[in-house]
Amino acid sequence: MTRDSYEYEVIFIIHDKYCNERSEKMPKETFFNLPHEKRERIIDAALDEFSTYSFYKARVTAIADNAGIAKGSFYQYFEDKKDLYKYIMEIIVEKKLSYINKDMMANREKYGVFQLIRETYLSGFRFAKKNPRLLPIGMMLAADRDLLQEIYGENQDQNADFFKGLLKYGKEQGEIDPSIDISLVSHMMVSLSFSLTEFVLEDGKMDMDDMEIIDKMLYLVENGIKKRD
């Protein structure tokens, strides 16, 4: 995948900028000096805790106990619980990358803009279906807008930048109405994405059948609500 193709995948954008800004702050070097097996135990215990409890209710003591380390040792590896939580979110984003159809993103000229938009949603569904343990962590984070802002900060705006890139590309390909305000529509699509996520997850889970809802939303985006002759 070429570096330029990152512009067309919001997960790539968030991961790239977020990790570059945070990598020196989390975790401490002592964590990376641990044997691989011990690091995996800590990560596994953290995933269990954060997938069961929201960030604020998650317990460092439980993570340390389940990882088989002393609570005092935890603070040798991480500044605090939030430091670990941010690292866990980085791991989740990394894993999510593997579910992207890389051919579509690297060779976007072979596909329509609406195919590319659909792929971003479909990749999320593939990830959720294969990683049910990780899904609750993202769901709880998405439900807490203040924490989401704190974790990702200004990088949340990269969601809109992703759609701006796609809309601009769509205009160049003649698939998008040249008169639309790209900035306005991109922010509307971000809001639609959040609303759609809440709608899809009303039953507390995400199924591949929910892709039908995504297609209904994309039909609305592509065709509008005005009756056509």
Whether 180 contacts 159, CB under 8 Å: no
Domains of the chain as residue ranges with CATH:
18-92 (1.10.357.10), 101-223 (1.10.357)
As given in the structure block, the two tokens for residue 102 are 């890389």
As given in the structure block, the two tokens for residue 221 are 């985006």
- Lowest-pLDDT range of 119-133, 146-160, 171-185: 146-160
- Lowest-pLDDT range of 60-64, 179-183, 223-227: 223-227
Distance CA 75, CA 77 (A): 5
As given in the structure block, the two tokens for residue 58 are 């998650």
Q: How confident is the model at residue 20 (pLDDT cuts 50, 70, 90)?
A: very low
Cα 96–chain centre separation: 7
Q: For the segment 50-82, what is each residue's pLDDT rounded down to a tens digit?
A: 999 999 999 999 999 999 999 999 999 999 999
pLDDT value, residue 5 = 36
200 half-sphere exposure, CB direction, 13 A CA radius: 24
pLDDT of 10 > 50? The answer is no
Q: How confident is the model at residue 201 (pLDDT cuts 50, 70, 90)?
A: low
Whether 113 contacts 170, CB under 8 Å: yes
Whether 26 contacts 79, CB under 8 Å: yes
- Lowest-pLDDT range of 125-129, 130-134, 137-141: 125-129
